Amino acid sequence: MGFLQQLVVSLCIIVAVTSKSFRQLDSAKSELEEYIANKKTDINPRFRLHYHVVPPVGWMNDPNGFSFYKGEYHLFYQFYPYESAWGPMHWGHVSSPNLVDWKQLPTALIPEEEMCFSGSAVIDGDDLVLMYTGRLTTDTEPFFNETQFLAYSSDGINFEKYEGNPVLPAAPNGSPDFRDPKVWKHGDHWYVVIGSRTEDERGNVLLYRSLDMKSWEFLSVIGESKGNMGYMWECPDFFELDGKFVLLMSPQGMEPQGDRYKNTHQTGFIIGSFNYETFEFVPEVEFQEIDYGHDFYATQTMEKDGKRYVIGWFNMWDVPYPEDVDGWAGALTMVRELRLVGERVLMKPIEEMVSLREHSIIDGALEPNGVIELQKTGEIIVNGDLSQNIELLIEGSNGGGKVWLRWDPAVGKVVVDRGSDDVRQVEWEPIGSHSWRIFLDASSLELFCGEGEVVFSSRVYPDGDWVVTNLSAQALDVEAFHLRRSVPE
């Protein structure tokens, strides 16, 4: 057979195999969407959130692929539809015109030979491009390897995996822990940061660049634990904010230090300077937690119209998930806007959150022992005299989970106490506003202090509706609103 004939036959075989593969994948996606539609009818709604992104069924963890494409915000997430526990990772998918009203879209990625671990999304020409970690099983210890994959979409809904995957098959030191790529463009090059670890078990972040996102050049280690910041740095993000560069990541394995680092794993930032000629990040402000609550991890940011937005997984590893018996588990926080003030990254609710307010419940004084009765959702703005103690009890109308919010002027700390010594607390020095802004959903609490100097995100599981009681000795100036539903029921 001549060369030309051989080439034609080979191309026909490749086309036939590829077509069969695409048909199988399309069939698998159709079957999955049918399963989700049927399974949704079994969900118990008692703890189901009303204005936070949650999985339609099954398990959710890290947010992925936060981006803006063809007039809408897109947000993906780690997803296992078949149980309300972690399993072979898919990518769930939602979109929004305004970052508060979300609609469910078909599952974007399903695992084949690889599990579809976390990653990011960028726009390249007319395409929405996903870069994600493909976790592959191996025959030798540790029996897995993490590599980087690409997937493309021309409509923001249907994605095809790149035939040349993986585009980054291994970490420079061969570490199997090599995950969570976050991509951005600067000049003519694409850049990506990836979380990894050293041979002696210290977390680090690796920097690469590429002209086409397919062939990558290793540039530098832009951050690394000196031995006191954990064994693995997950979900790194690197961006410029108000004239400085911020390395945002989730270290695993940090030891508790007093009030700090009390969660299973942490999320925080290092502020510094970066040079695109030398590829060196020089820290100027050491690691700080970005959220002090019980349930905040694996953040991802994106920029639009000069604003830097962030969202996180609204849970934590290795803790109880009371909703898992209801057919689902996991949530994402509300979107926040980031600002840099001095040596601190501040988080505030995005302006669009006010569009969720439906009607006012109270606007005025809440006397000592006064009570606010809410439904499943609410926003509460609290002002009090910070020279005196402030204490609010937030609980279910029929019992269940409860939480105390306190301000102690003697030590200058804000406290979020879920009972049974399950406490998170931190010093607060207001730089402007002295208000607390509290967001309650069916099983969650987010507390923003002042200008966002201190933020707590914690899951709380009440029975019934919310009831808020002023346990302070002083009257508090309070506004409270009912918030409408903005995610699918």
In this prediction, what percent of the chain has a pLDDT beyond 90? 93
pLDDT tens, residue by residue, 292-335: 999 999 999 999 999 999 999 999 999 999 999 999 999 999 99
pLDDT tens, residue by residue, 261-288: 999 999 999 999 999 999 999 999 999 9
Looking at domain 358-483, does it have CATH number 2.60.120.560? yes
What pLDDT, on a 0 to 100 scale, did the predictor assign at position 22?
Answer: 61
Check: CB of residue 241 under 8 Å from CB of residue 247: no
Check: CB of residue 107 under 8 Å from CB of residue 81: yes
> How far is CA 221 from each of CA 38, 77, 170, 204, rounded to the nearest angstrom?
47, 27, 15, 7
What pLDDT, on a 0 to 100 scale, did the predictor assign at position 21?
Answer: 60
Whether the per-residue pLDDT at 6 is higher than 90: the answer is: no
What pLDDT, on a 0 to 100 scale, did the predictor assign at position 312?
Answer: 98
**What average pLDDT does this structure show over 168-185?**
97
Q: Mean of the per-residue pLDDT values for the chain? A: 95
What pLDDT, on a 0 to 100 scale, did the predictor assign at position 15?
Answer: 40
**What average pLDDT does this structure show over 167-175?**
96
pLDDT tens, residue by residue, 418-432: 999 999 999 999 999
pTM of the shown model: 0.94
Higher pLDDT pick, 115 / 10: 115
What pLDDT, on a 0 to 100 scale, did the predictor assign at position 18?
Answer: 45
pLDDT tens, residue by residue, 338-356: 999 999 999 999 999 999 9
pLDDT tens, residue by residue, 53-95: 999 999 999 999 999 999 999 999 999 999 999 999 999 999 9
**53-349 CATH:** 2.115.10.20
What pLDDT, on a 0 to 100 scale, did the predictor assign at position 4?
Answer: 44
The torsion angles phi and psi of 157, rounded to 5 degrees, stand at -125, -50
Domain regions of the chain by residue span? 53-349, 358-483
Give the residue numbers marked as catalytic. Answer: 62
Whether 358-483 and 53-349 are alike in CATH topology: the answer is: no
Check: CB of residue 424 under 8 Å from CB of residue 292: yes
